[in-house]
Chain A
């Protein structure tokens, strides 16, 4: 498809949006040259790469012919007299009824790609459903749609439908909403199970808009694919066949992901016509402070130094950190500098999941209004939440993927202002890999987003929901499994009843309530402040991280203020906390036991084998460390008593026989240390190569029968723990055949183990490269993990390399 490409001096003589600060060099914030100069001066030897992305001019296209004059007027009133080329291309696909995915950078005007066909359809009774992964994004798009509606007098009725929508408003939305803006969770639990109430929407459904497509990967993506299967069944019942419009941030395979989610061909639009301001990107590696240990200055101190410099020069700054804990620690450091005077309004704020919605809305509002100078966030702000324009974006640590890095860096420099993005490397292996190979980040294509729509547990969860929504008839399809086997299983469970060729739901239950799209198990924990007899809910924590953050004795932080967990009610899902003045934070110590249940494929070689198959995983939080602020010294331990977290999943493993170990190592202890170090490097490389996040994969060293598992003990050496958590003597074990596991960190597995097995040769080779070429002498957090304790015969680095060489000999 080709369009007349117009540049900025086209017949309209103006750019698409007449914002005052658009596309003009004068718009560069005054402090930016000063900041760049300062960073260049202080960053000698620390800036390991710098890239300047030039400003890019707009490419425009005319509106599609025949666009209703009222819509043209509405757009003109908003200052839009023409489209960007990618918008026109997407609109043409959508209006012709072809599913389409738009994958262009942040702030390229993606939303117009779907607003336009949706508005046109609404003028002839066609309705639309918008799905955003978060409520905040839904609010932003509602506002935009209502402004267009007002400007053109279109008489459009657009409304949000989410957990906050009151009962009376729900009736109005159901019967009168031309555009219903919601999220997957509401579609899953509120709309599809009650589809007859939504009959008017489904009967007239012309478009389904799914924004932030790249979010739907892994577990969430598998849920989403099944949710769309259910939506398709319901639409078919009402005789509707809506066109899907997907929008995605830059990922390697937007089209493949959209097609996997939808189960149908999707057209791709990825040639961006929007203009872009100049952007500088730096990779910053903190200086080495201990060459022997390969220790670098902490990324936190460097990140807060850069953020301080930027804020002082009047630049609006956003700092991304990779964990909630990091967010709170960084916020404290920045608040110590800028919010020392309690009488002044705060200039620095933290933003992360787990805060209450009102608090997040308040922070978003203040950011948009420019009333905050600096925000510190987790990935919560990575999504398209409208927070206005920012000048500087500091990433405290590599987010784990190329796509997420650009998504975060894209937060600076919306509306074409000159912008700066700095990635500050931590001492983690991925970060050091990126710092040493900046071309990996700056030159490479981003990752593939993968989903497994037929993950069996997820598929069965949604099959139950689908059977509740409409009876199944033989001959239907739902996923790749044989429908009759699955329904036979449900019949055996007594939740469906077969009559002739139809299966009817008969259970007295509402299956959607038992299925959460976002996490493994249900039940968020409430954090309740009981200071001074109060009982205020101050935060929510999801089930999967509760054991790691809310154990009794934990320091839990909100807006950098510490609370101490006094009591954890595990079954009631509540943590009771009181305010504290502790000068330390806490970090959980956990260990994992695996038992091999079945191997699918096995490759034997000299001295051992590699395999992948099914495993049973038990994770236990054994205790926690207390770590002092600023100095990071370990000032104590505490015990934790919580139920084990068990799951059944898939894994890749390597097992080495004892004779092979004898030949390579002088002691079991050295071999065990080698396994732990090798596991650390393999885990990081595997996450990099299979393009998933570190937490999607787990690692463990054990004996394969779960009689023992190995962890790094307080002295820095590997120790064995028995099933009940007690320590075992390494010498006393009759059989010593260590097995190194990389497992899919989701119940049932989401399809990571088989690709890991296929790539095992490369994983081992790259891990060996990482360890061998690391700048440290003994081993360090950038290769084999933190090295503790005194010097020993074999360095941790040599031990890990020894094991990696044994693994490399396997086929």
Chain B
């Protein structure tokens, strides 16, 4: 039955209009080199041991732990002396209203309230067919910056992933993201709606560093991408990074072939993003105010 259906389609489709947009083809070409390098670096191991649950095998492959609801948690502690690029994390702990800079730092918020977050998704198209399969959050916790990542090994685990995010939120949390107000937060809202769960991010104050960077770095950087800020403001050059746009393929590689190698690389990429946010914020706060007008006020996320 299915073969005859495929035959019927094969007869029809060659004559049908092709819908491969030109930019997608070009992008694929540019990425080919990156992909080839990744293949060399990671080899082609099958990660999933026979009989193991998806969460257990993914946890083993990523050096994480399998937790309730069938999701995987990765946790790393970074002491404040840790330098990301040429920026020490300690600067984050020292942020206060005295250094308003580009952020118009609100008096009442303490650095420990800040919740840095970033998602890895199945695409950038948006809409109900896009989901976040990896969530990373970072926060100051005593003498450490604690970075926690959650991954779903199956679609069925998505509600647990969203519940884990909700568990990271406190009443006084302030979200910090890069382009998260229009992308990540609205994606989470959509996923929660589909999972029939309340949106844990709804109503939280949300500081989107993309907007701050736009003002602070106007004319100083070639563009307002995070990577440009890393090179131009943080002294950071990533090596062997898995580009964010390969995130969808890291996910399908795991789903289809049970290979976690790209997910491991993506988890590292996600950690680097969050660390960059954590040092970018004090860097922008330290910029002279004249570069930063108009300052970006805190806004509530939708």
Using CB atoms and an 8 Å cutoff, list the residues of chain A in contact with chain B: 171, 193-197, 199, 456-457, 460, 467-471, 481-482, 484-486, 488-489, 492, 494, 497, 499-500, 502, 504-511, 514, 520-522, 597, 614, 616, 646-648, 747-748
**8 Å CB contact of A492 from B6, B190, B252:** B6
Give the nearest-CB partner of B247 in chain A: A508
What are 29 of the A-B contact pairs (CB < 8 Å)?
Answer: A193-B127, A193-B128, A194-B126, A196-B128, A196-B194, A456-B8, A460-B9, A467-B129, A468-B128, A468-B129, A469-B129, A470-B128, A488-B5, A489-B5, A497-B255, A497-B256, A499-B154, A500-B156, A505-B129, A506-B255, A509-B125, A510-B126, A510-B127, A511-B129, A522-B17, A647-B15, A648-B16, A747-B17, A748-B16
Apart from A497-B256, A647-B15, 10 more pairs, CB < 8 Å: A196-B194, A456-B9, A457-B13, A468-B129, A470-B194, A497-B252, A504-B155, A507-B129, A508-B124, A510-B127
Chain B residues with CB under 8 Å of A494's CB are 252, 256
B2, CB-defined interface residue at 8 Å: yes
Asked if B1 is at the interface (CB within 8 A of a chain A CB), the reply is yes
Q: How far is the CA of A171 from the CA of B302 in the complex (A)?
A: 10
Q: Which residues of A contact B2 (CB under 8 A)?
A: 484-485, 488-489
Complex-state Cα separation, A171 to B129, whole angstroms: 20
CB of B12 within 8 A of CB of A748, answer: yes
Cβ 8 A contact of A499, one of B16, B123, B156, B251? B156
B42 at the interface (CB under 8 A from A): no
Contact B11 A510 (CB under 8 A): no
Chain A residues near B14 (CB-CB < 8 A): 648
Known: A484-B2, A485-B2. A457 touches B16 (CB 8 A): yes
Which B residues contact A (CB, under 8 angstroms)? 1-2, 5-6, 8-9, 11-17, 19, 122-129, 154-156, 186, 189-190, 193-194, 248, 251-252, 255-256, 302
Q: A193-B129, A489-B6, A506-B252 are in contact. Are A648 and B15 (CB under 8 A)?
A: yes
How many cross-chain pairs have Cβ atoms below 8 Å apart between A and B?
106
A786 to chain B, nearest CB (A): 31
Known interface pairs A467-B129, A469-B129, A494-B252; A457-B5 also in contact (CB < 8 Å): no
Contact of A508 with B5 at beta-carbon distance under 8 Å, contacts A196-B194, A614-B11 already known: no
Cα distance, A521 to B19, chains bound together (Å) = 9
On whether A648 and B11 interact (CB within 8 A), knowing A471-B155, A488-B2, the answer reads yes
Contacts of B190 in A (CB 8 A): 194, 196-197
In the bound assembly, the distance between CA atoms of A506 and B130 in angstroms comes to: 8
Query: Which A residues are in CB contact (< 8 Å) with B126?
Result: 194, 510
B194: chain A residues at CB < 8 Å are 196, 470
User: Do most interface residues of chain A lie in helix, strand or loop, or is the interface mixed?
Assistant: mixed
| A787 to B: closest C-beta gap in Å | 35
Docked-complex contact B17 and A507, CB < 8 angstroms: no
CB distance from A129 to the nearest CB of B (A): 18
In the A-B complex, the 10 residue pairs with the smallest Cβ-Cβ separation, listed nearest first, are A468-B129, A648-B15, A508-B123, A196-B193, A510-B125, A514-B19, A193-B127, A485-B5, A505-B129, A521-B17
- A508 and B154 form a contact (CB under 8 A): no
Within the assembled complex, what's the spacing in Å between the Cα atoms of A735 and B134?
Answer: 66
The answer to whether A194 touches B5, judged by C-beta atoms less than 8 angstroms apart, is no
Q: Which of chain A's residues have a CB closer than 8 A to the CB of B15? A: 616, 646-648, 747
A485 to B156, CA, bound (A): 23
Residue of A nearest to B20 (CB): A514
Contacts of B125 in A (CB 8 A): 508-510
Q: Is the CB of A597 within 8 A of B11?
A: yes
Q: How far is the CA of A481 from the CA of B8 in the complex (A)?
A: 12
Question: Which B residue sits closest to A511, measured CB to CB?
Answer: B129
Give min CB distance, B157 to chain A, whole Å: 10
Report the minimum CB–CB distance from A457 to chain B (whole Å). 6
Residue of A nearest to B6 (CB): A489
The residues of A that contact B128 with a CB separation of less than 8 Å are: 193-196, 468-470
Chain B neighbourhood of A470, CB < 8 A: 128, 194
A648 x B12 contact (CB < 8 A): yes
Among B6, B12, B156, chain A packs the most CB atoms within 10 A around the CB of B12
Known: A194-B126, A469-B129, A510-B129. A481 touches B19 (CB 8 A): no
CA distance A600 to B249 in the complex (A): 42
Closest CB-CB distance, B188 to chain A, in whole Å?
11
* Chain B: CB-nearest residue to A492: B6
The distance from the CB of B167 to the nearest CB of chain A, in whole angstroms, is 22
Contacts of A194 in B (CB 8 A): 126-128, 190
